[in-house]
Structure 1
Amino acid sequence: MSATVCPPLPRALLIDLDGTIYHGGRMIEGADVWIASLREAGLPYLFVTNNSTASPEAFAERLRAMGIAAEPDQVCTSAQAAASYIATERPGASVFVIGESGLQDAVVGQGLTVVERDADVVLQGLDRELSYERLTRAVRMIHAGARYVLTNPDLLLPMEEGVIPGAGSIAALLEAAGGVPPVVIGKPSSILVDYALARLSASAEQTWMVGDNMLTDIAAGARAGCPTALMLTGITTADNLERYIDRAGVRPDLVFHTLHELQAYIMQRLGT
C-alpha cells in the first residue's frame, strides 16, 4: 500500500466492479471477505459500474454467485444514471438505444420511449451485437440534431481471457462520424458519481471511490471531490501506474495491490 495523503475516515464507499471485484465471471481474491467486513462494520456502499449491459438485478445475482452478498439496490449502473439524466433534461424524450438489455430497461424505467428512427436522443453504451446498419442509423440521427449521450468512455474491459473493446471504442467511431462529442455520464464524468452519492445521501468528502482504472474510476472520484483508492487488480497495474497517472492528470490518494491490503487498512482506520 502507498499513500499520497491520508484521507478522512470513510463514511461510505463507491466500489467499481469490473477489474476491482471481478474479472468477467471470476472473483478477484479477497472481494467476498472485504465486502463482508464492510457489512459487518455497518459502512454503507454502492457498487458503481460503468457497465451498462445488464440490470442491477443481474449484477447482484452475479455477485451472489461468487459468494458476495448483494442486493439490486446496492448496484448503481451508468445505464441508470444515463436514463435519469435524459429524463431530467428532456422528460418523455424518444431515445435510440445502442446497447444491451440493461440500458434498454433503464430507459423504459424512466418513462422514456425507445424508438428506431427520428429520436430526440441517441444513447450509446456497450453493444456486443452492434451492426453497421445501426451505427449508420445513429450517425444520421446525430446529424439530424439528436443529442448524443454516452453511458461511459471505457475503451477496454478486463475479462478472464483478456481485454475486450468497450463502449468508448464504439463512441470513438460515432463521435468521428457524427461530428459532435457526446455527453458522458459514466466515469470519468462526475455525473455517475454524483448520482450514486445522491442515492447514498452521502457527502463526497467522506465517501471513498475505489477502483482499478485511473482514467475512469480515480479521475471521476477526484472530479467529484471523493478520496480515491486505486486497486492494482485490473486496468492499472504497478507497471503502467505512472503512465496512467500522467494520462489521468490526477494521483490516487491511496494505492493497494490487493483487496486484503485495502480491507486491513480500512479496518485499522475504523479501529476494528
Structure 2
Amino acid sequence: MRYNGYLVDLDGTIYRGKEIIPAGKRFVETLQKKDIPFLFVTNNTTKTPEDVVQRLKNEFEIRVEPEEVYTATLATIDYMRDAKRGSSFYAIGESGLIQLILQAGFTWNEKDPDYVVVGLDSEVTYDKLTTATLAIQQGALFIGTNPDKNIPTERGLVPGAGSLIALLETSTQQRAVYIGKPEAIIMEKALEQIELTKQEVLMVGDNYETDIQSGIRNGLDSLLVLSGFTTKEVVPHLPIKPTYIVDSLDEWTF
C-alpha cells in the first residue's frame, strides 16, 4: 500500500545508540529522493529538534530539517497551549525540555505553578521531587512527557522518564496526563504537523510497546522493524499484530 507520509522513530530504527543502522539511513534517503513527507517522532525530551538534526548530520550523515523532528517536548508545549490553564510551570527535566517551554512563553514558577511537567532528568534530586509533589497537591496540572519506564544503554536498562513520573504519581496519588508515544496526544499533534490524516500515514518503529502501540491505539497502520527493542522471538506472542513486520527497512517497498 502506498502512503502519503511516514511517522518514524529514531533510536532502534534509524540508529542504535551510537551506531547507524544502514537500512534506516537508506530508508530516510529514499523518502527524501521520492519527496515523501516524513516526521521523526521521538519521546526524547533531553534534546531540541535542532540538537537532533545536528546529531543526525554529524554522527550519521543524515541531513534533515528541524521541522522534520517532533519531540515529546513540542507535543507537551502544544498540549499546554490547548489546555489554557495558565502561563507558569515547574519542570523536572533537562534543557531540551525546560528551555523550549520557556521559549514558548511560559514562566518558571516553583511555588504555585499552573503546570508541573516531568521528563527525564539525569540530575534529579529529592528537592526537585518534593517541589513537584507539593505543586501537584496544590492543584498544578500534572503532565508526564512520556511513559518510557526504561532507556536501553550499553550498561543495560536504566530509569526513564516514566519511572520518575510513577514516583510522583505515588507521592501525589494523582495520575499524570501522558503526552508521548503511544498516547493519542503526540500522535494527533504529529498528524497536524505533517498535515495528513491517519489513513494517509504509516507509523514506523522498532518498539512494539511505544511505536507500534501508537499506531494500534490511534488508528494508524504500523510497520515494526526488528532492528531494535522488539525481537523476532516475541513476535508470535504479540496480542495485536502490527500491520507490517520486516527484519530490515531495506525490505520495505514504497
Provide TM-score, normalisation by structure 1: 0.88
**Do structure 1's residue 38 and structure 2's residue 40 form an aligned pair?**
no
What whole-Å deviation, never above 9, does each CA across 1:48-103 have from its counterpart, x for those lacking one? Answer: 00111110000011111211111111100000010111122126421111111111
Is it true that 1:143 corresponds to 2:160 in the alignment?
Answer: no
Sequence identity, in percent? 39
| C-alpha distance in structure 2 between counterparts of 1:157 and 1:105, whole Å | 22
What SS does structure 1 have at the residue aligned with 2:192? helix
Q: Which residue of 2 aligns with 1:5?
A: none
Aligned pair partner of 2:169 in 167, 175, 187: 175
Is contact 2:85–2:114 with CA below 8 Å preserved after alignment?
A: no
* Greater displacement, 156-165 / 37-46: 156-165
Does residue 106 (structure 1) correspond to residue 119 (structure 2)? The answer is: no
- Post-superposition Cα deviations, 1:177-217, rounded to whole Å, max 9, x if no partner, equal 11111101111111111111101110111100011111111
Give the unaligned 5+ runs of structure 1.
1-7, 268-272
The higher relative CO (CA closer than 8 Å, separation ≥ 6) is in 1
Letter in 2 for 1:10: Y
Q: CA RMSD in A?
A: 1.5
Paired amino acid for 2:245: V
How far apart are the structure 1 equivalents of 2:155 and 2:27?
A: 25
Q: Pick one of 193, 197, 206 that aligns with 1:199.
A: 193
Residues 139-158 of structure 1 deviation map (CA, whole Å, 9 limit, x = unaligned): 11111111100110011223
Distance 2:106 2:130 in 1: 22
Pairing of 1:58-77 with structure 2 (within 5 A)? 58-65=51-58, 66-77=60-71
Say whether the 8 Å CA contact 1:46–1:74 is kept in structure 2: yes
SS in 1 for 2:22: coil
**What are the superposed Cα offsets for residues 219-254 of structure 1, whole Å, 9 maximum, x if unpaired?**
1122222110012122211123345x33xxx32111
Q: Distance in 1 between matches of 2:21 and 2:111?
A: 42
Instruction: Say which of 226, 233, 245 aligns to 1:232.
Output: 226
2:211 maps to which residue? 217
Aligned residue for 1:240, secondary structure, equals: helix
Number of residues of Structure 1 aligned to a counterpart in Structure 2? 253
Deviates more, 1:168-177 or 1:156-165: 156-165
Partner of 1:80: 74
- CA, structure 1 residues 160+44, in 2 after alignment: closer, same or farther (shift >3 Å)? farther
* Superposition TM-score, scaled by structure 2 size: 0.94
* 1:244-265 Cα deviation digits (max 9, x unpaired): x33xxx321111112222xxx2
Letter in 2 for 1:59: V
Residue 49 of structure 2 is matched in structure 1 by 56
* CA deviation string 1:6-52 (max 9, x = no partner): xx411100001122112222222322211111100111000000111
Question: 5+ residue gaps in structure 2?
Answer: none
- Aligned counterpart in structure 1 of residue 19 of structure 2, from 26, 35, 60: 26
Question: Which deviates more from structure 2 when the two are superposed, residues 141-150 or residues 215-224?
Answer: 215-224
